[in-house]
Amino acid sequence: MDKFFANPALKTRITSGSVKLPEMFIGYLLAPLCAMLANSIFSAYLTRYYADVIGLTDSQFGVFSMMLPIISAIIVVAGNLFVGQLIDNTRTPAGKARPYLFLSAPVMAVAIILLFLTPGGDNPQATNYMMKMVWIAVSFNLFYSVGYPCFYTAHSSMVALSTRNGNQRGLLATLSNASMVAAAGVGASILVPILLQPFMFVTGADGKIDRVASYANWRILGIALAIVTMAGILLEYYFTRERITEESMALNVKEEKLPMSTHIKACTSEKYWWMVVLFILFFQMGQLVKNTSMSFYVRWMFDSVIASSNPESTSGALMSTLGLIGGLPSAVGMVIAWPLASKLGKKRAIVLGLILSLAGGLVAFLNVHSFPIVCTGVILKAVGIIPAQYVMVALLSDVLDHLEAKNGFRSDGFTMSIYGATMVGLAVLSMGIVNIFLGALGYDATLTRQAASTETGMVIAYLCMDMIGFALSIILLFRMDVEKYIDEDKAKILERQKAAVLAEGGTWVDPEERARLEQEEADRKAEEERIAELKQTCAEKGLNFEEEERKYQEQKEKRKNSLIGKLLG
């Protein structure tokens, strides 16, 4: 693997020793947004695709539709743990996590396409039920148990491995979470419902889903999503950099490859690790069940949709509106989350926000069939979860640094495999939970209105599950105070690194000083290239070099004094 990733064509395009704008906005915002768009759409619509297009809730499939996501969740966890162990024991010129970004790209693309090529999927009368179930199980797990764990475990490791600079790490955590929020909120909850829902679920003249036409359209969508996903993953690979991995490799100290049991013991014996991992588990469980059930809730719970001549189009418009209203606070949160966490502290900001969400969510229960009232509850929830959405990865990174200071080695791979297993496994499990609600409570896509018991299940899934998660998260984080050890942990890590280098007979250079020298050299080369390009441009266009240079320096000073410039230092 070392030789493969030593190829100059696979070298990162980020040469700066500190985090700059291209890395922030391409590597941590745009690229992950494209890479996670498909998964966000699947979280919102794949259950409906299986139920309403493939007919997976039909009686012929028995308990398969309920058990597939639940059994697959176990395989997802195993896949994430395996990738985490690989990351912990990998050291290449590309880093320890980034190689798995690159390797996941073709697997993800193939898996997405196979999801929508189910044999007989274009024929509702086809009786090859066993072949359908095998194909669905294999393609489902190729995506969720192989491709996505490989991508997501590596992706979720990048913030912690990018830099030790607190402000820069906080900004990257904010942008990384913003990409996820944008993929789920803007993509799956706003644009897709209003632009594509009638395309994905074609309504026939009788008001029922036309399975043949819908299946054909989903195949087209699958190809498009495969291309976007692969492009996004490769962009993230090329526009990120693992400075902390490079820091350890630059010490020229031989690192022992530790068994997973060592990482498990180190992590599970730390109370802060349990606090943050369980917080992520409960918080994300509620969010993912809510997102998975959203399309069902909007389609069947509002009277205006039920009475519409084209319910899919009407529900798509309402779902888009609901996604937009709920997503606006998240968009604003991208700007205010980190300053708020810096002022209040990460843990305190998260807890206070969740208390607001818990209280605000009660509003929706005033009338679960009223679109304006449900929207009001959604808005209040969205405002409250802003810190949790954007700061949780930074808080997890603090825990990883604390573990390194305490144990003498990093457990990024194992921890992020647990994080990835939580995020991906819960996405799969949430489908199973919604399927259980639907199957057990009598969901029937051919009806014009669902039974009262089915509506109750939708209320529990869409309105209650996230509030349960809020309450449990508040309890878990109440005594989370790892932030008070940040400076002490950093000093311990540097002292241990220094002792290791000196013991090997090497010369110790402080990482910040090494980064500064590297940055100065990179800046010097970049400045020489810029001046040469500007002189050439001026010569070709007949411009005055001194005047153009003055304009450039003025713009540079404005950027330096901007909010992002100040945060980046």
Hey, what are 474's tokens? 């508040």
**Rounded Cα gap, residues 107 and 110, in angstroms:** 5
519 pLDDT band (50/70/90 cuts)?
Answer: low
Of 335 and 294, more confident: 294
Structure letter (DSSP) for residue 7: S
Residue 336's CB is within 10 A of a number of other CB atoms, namely 15
Lowest mean pLDDT among 75-89, 120-134, 246-260, 276-290: 246-260
Q: How far is CA 192 from CA 38, 316, 405, 458, in A?
A: 11, 8, 45, 21
Amino acid at 267: C
**Rounded Cα gap, residues 149 and 404, in angstroms:** 24
Hey, what are 375's tokens? 């929207």
Q: Is 325 exposed, middle or buried (0-12, 13-18, 19+ CB in 10 A)?
A: middle
> Residue 95: left if φ>0, alpha if ψ -120 to 50, beta else—which one?
left
> Tell me, what's the pLDDT at 318?
84
Domain boundaries, given as residue ranges, for the chain: 19-489, 509-568
**Rounded Cα gap, residues 39 and 559, in angstroms:** 35
Q: Is 8 exposed, middle or buried (0-12, 13-18, 19+ CB in 10 A)?
A: exposed
**Rounded Cα gap, residues 36 and 423, in angstroms:** 12
Cβ(31)–Cβ(233) below 8 Å: yes
In the numeric block, the tokens 């790892």 are attached to: 482
* Crossing angle of the two packed helices 148-162 and 64-88, in degrees rounded to 10: 40
Asked whether the predicted pLDDT for residue 42 surpasses 70, the reply is yes
Asked whether the predicted pLDDT for residue 188 surpasses 80, the reply is no
* DSSP run (H or E) holding 158: helix 148-162
> Tell me, what's the pLDDT at 32?
93
> Closest Cα partner for 482 from 405, 379, 554, 390?
405
Q: What mean pLDDT, rounded, does the chain reach?
A: 84
What pLDDT digit, counting tens, does each position of 344-394 carry? 888 999 999 999 999 888 999 999 888 889 888 988 998 999 888 888 888
Structure letter (DSSP) for residue 483: G
Structure letter (DSSP) for residue 54: I
> Closest Cα partner for 315 from 429, 434, 450?
450
> Tell me, what's the pLDDT at 62?
60
What pLDDT digit, counting tens, does each position of 384-420 carry? 998 888 888 888 888 988 998 998 888 877 887 788 7
In the numeric block, the tokens 């009262």 are attached to: 452
**Rounded Cα gap, residues 316 and 320, in angstroms:** 6
Stretch 97-120: mean pLDDT = 93
Cβ(331)–Cβ(437) below 8 Å: no
> Closest Cα partner for 143 from 55, 226, 231?
226
113 pLDDT band (50/70/90 cuts)?
Answer: very high
What pLDDT digit, counting tens, does each position of 68-104 carry? 777 887 888 888 888 888 887 888 888 899 999 999 9
3-state SS class at 81: helix
Cβ(420)–Cβ(83) below 8 Å: yes
Contacts of residue 541, Cβ cutoff 8 Å, sequence gap at least 6: none
Q: How far is CA 209 from CA 124, 314, 320, 446, in A?
A: 11, 14, 20, 8
147 pLDDT band (50/70/90 cuts)?
Answer: very high
Q: Torsions phi, psi of 37, nearest 5?
A: -60, -45
3-state SS class at 95: strand
**Rounded Cα gap, residues 74 and 84, in angstroms:** 16
Q: How would you label 440-476 residue by residue, b for 16+ Cβ within 10 Å and e otherwise?
A: ebebebeeeebeeebbebbbbbbbbbbbebbebbbeb
- The hierarchical CATH code for the domain 19-489 is 1.20.1250.20
Asked whether the predicted pLDDT for residue 321 surpasses 80, the reply is yes
What pLDDT digit, counting tens, does each position of 45-68 carry? 888 888 788 877 666 666 776 777
3-state SS class at 209: strand
Asked whether the predicted pLDDT for residue 151 surpasses 90, the reply is yes
Partners of 95 in beta bridges: 92
The alpha-carbon radius of gyration of the chain (Å, integer) is 25
3-state SS class at 173: helix
Asked whether the predicted pLDDT for residue 209 surpasses 60, the reply is yes
